[in-house]
Amino acid sequence: MSWGRTGVGDRAVAVGAMAILLVAALSGQRPPTDLAPLGYLLLTVGGLALAAYRWAPVTVLAVTGLCVLGYQAIGFDVPAVAYLFAVYGTVRAGHRVVAVAGSVVMVATLPLAILAAHPDRPVGEAFGQGRDALQIAWLIAAGAAGEALRQAERRADEAERTREETARRRADEERLHIARELHDSLTHQISVIKVQSEAAVHVARKRGEAVPDSLLAIRDAGREAARELRTTLEALRDDGKSQRHGLADVPGLVERARATGLDATLTIDGQCQDLPTALDRTVFRIVQESLTNIARHAAAATASVRIDYRPDALVIRVDDDGKATADAAPVPGVGLLGMRERVTALGGHLLAAPRSQGGFSVHAELPMDRA
């Protein structure tokens, strides 16, 4: 709903109501000359007050009611048009009791205001003129119109909430479906790799043989993959409330890369800050995917991970001295695509390309304020 703001339509209603009141006053009975300016002022204020009927309906109801009583007491026999609009706005805003109470007061006091302007007029005639100025049928119609629109807006809001709840429920069901699929398709294979590599390490050590670094790397990768899969499944099942990896886990990634024989280094510059969850998770994924690509495709001897805290952005750069060259750039795979999507979603920029001196570089800039 647009309640709470004064729009062009509201101002147009206010100006129109003011014009109707002034025209009715000019074409009707003329009051004493010395009080006429005050009457015209009350007519103007009562009409223009309707511009605020959306964000201050009770105040507008009171102002228009006092204006009606004021110009009737001065002698302006003008219908209470502005007050009817105010009743409509008050009921539409949900203040039904206030609108009913105000209307009862108006019906009771309006004849007294007319008697103040015409002391010689019979009481019965004053009450009849009050009913003409504030037609009960129009008063009821204004309240009914406000209530009808209020109910329609409430039903529209409920329908919108229902659609949102349905969408969330479908998303939850889809997450559970993905979790089941991942569990069925990956858990068994990762468990086999993990168990077999740990068994091979155990047997080699029991025989007193040297354990190859590659076998230790497979074992550690199997353990990490099992933890990652478990975390992913938990996140899918509980709508992302479980703990996930972040910047604090990057040193562990670099250590595991070293265990595979890669001379990997980590440098963190700038004043460390608490990062938003999305940005923290994205930093970890960029470094993880970059080191994974180096291990799989680069045939590199060294790699450097640099994280730079800047006032308005966090910069991640991962370089290697692998076989990539400008003439033989690797074909972008799913990993690079996933990194680019994560960075773009946070309003950042990603550059992944061969370096002029050989090797490959991943450079990402993530704005702090957009995260």
Q: Do residues 102 and 87 touch, judged by C-beta distance below 8 A?
A: yes
Residue 60, CA distances (Å) to 87, 90, 101, 200, 358 in order: 9, 8, 15, 83, 74
Between 96-117 and 123-133, two packed helices, what is the crossing angle to 10 degrees?
130
Percent of the chain with pLDDT over 70: 79
SS3 content of the chain, % helix, strand, coil (to 5): 65, 10, 25
pLDDT of residue 236: 60
Q: How far apart are CA 371 and CA 368, in angstroms?
A: 5
Between 36-48 and 57-74, two packed helices, what is the crossing angle to 10 degrees?
160
How does pLDDT run across 297-317, given as a tens digit for each residue? Answer: 788 899 999 999 998 899 999
Closest-CA residue to 32 (of 111, 117, 90, 143):
117
pLDDT of residue 127: 64
Choose between 198 and 171: higher pLDDT: 198
How does pLDDT run across 2-14, given as a tens digit for each residue? Answer: 444 556 777 888 8
SS3 call for 346: coil
Q: How far apart are CA 230 and CA 65, in angstroms?
A: 67
Q: What angle do CA 350, 355, 357 make, to 5 degrees?
A: 160
Question: pTM of the entire structure?
Answer: 0.41
Place of tokens 């886990």: 249
pLDDT of residue 128: 65
Place of tokens 């940005």: 279
Contacts of 289 (CB under 8 A, 6+ apart): 335, 336, 338, 339
How does pLDDT run across 345-366, given as a tens digit for each residue? Answer: 888 899 998 988 889 999 999 9
Choose between 1 and 97: higher pLDDT: 97
Question: What's the whole-number mean pLDDT along residues 198-210?
Answer: 85
pLDDT of residue 351: 92
DSSP state of 51: G
Question: What's the whole-number mean pLDDT along residues 210-233?
Answer: 77
How does pLDDT run across 224-261, given as a tens digit for each residue? Answer: 777 777 666 666 655 544 456 788 899 999 998 888 88
pLDDT of residue 304: 94
DSSP state of 253: H
User: What's 72-122 look like in SS3?
Assistant: HHHCCCCCCHHHHHHHHHHHHCCCHHHHHHHHHHHHHHHHHHHHHHCCCCC
Contacts of 135 (CB under 8 A, 6+ apart): 79
Percent of the chain with pLDDT over 90: 12
Q: How far apart are CA 241 and CA 246, in angstroms?
A: 14
Closest-CA residue to 70 (of 87, 51, 83, 88):
83
Residue 103, CA distances (Å) to 66, 77, 81, 110, 364 in order: 12, 19, 13, 10, 65
Structure token digits, residue 244 = 């996930």
SS3 call for 284: helix
* Confidence bin at 33 (pLDDT 50/70/90): low
Contacts of 22 (CB under 8 A, 6+ apart): 40, 43, 44, 47
Q: How far apart are CA 314 and CA 366, in angstroms?
A: 5
Question: What's the whole-number mean pLDDT along residues 38-49?
Answer: 86
Q: How far apart are CA 317 and CA 286, in angstroms?
A: 9
Range name among 141-150, 185-194, 281-290 with the lowest pLDDT average: 185-194
Closest-CA residue to 275 (of 366, 152, 155):
366
How does pLDDT run across 119-175, given as a tens digit for each residue? Answer: 666 666 666 665 655 666 677 777 788 888 888 888 888 888 888 777 777 777 776
How does pLDDT run across 47-104, given as a tens digit for each residue? Answer: 888 888 888 889 988 998 888 888 888 878 787 888 888 888 888 888 888 888 888 8
Q: How far apart are CA 198 and CA 196, in angstroms?
A: 6
DSSP state of 310: -
Structure token digits, residue 60 = 């507008």
Question: What's the whole-number mean pLDDT along residues 33-44?
Answer: 80
Question: What's the whole-number mean pLDDT along residues 99-117?
Answer: 80
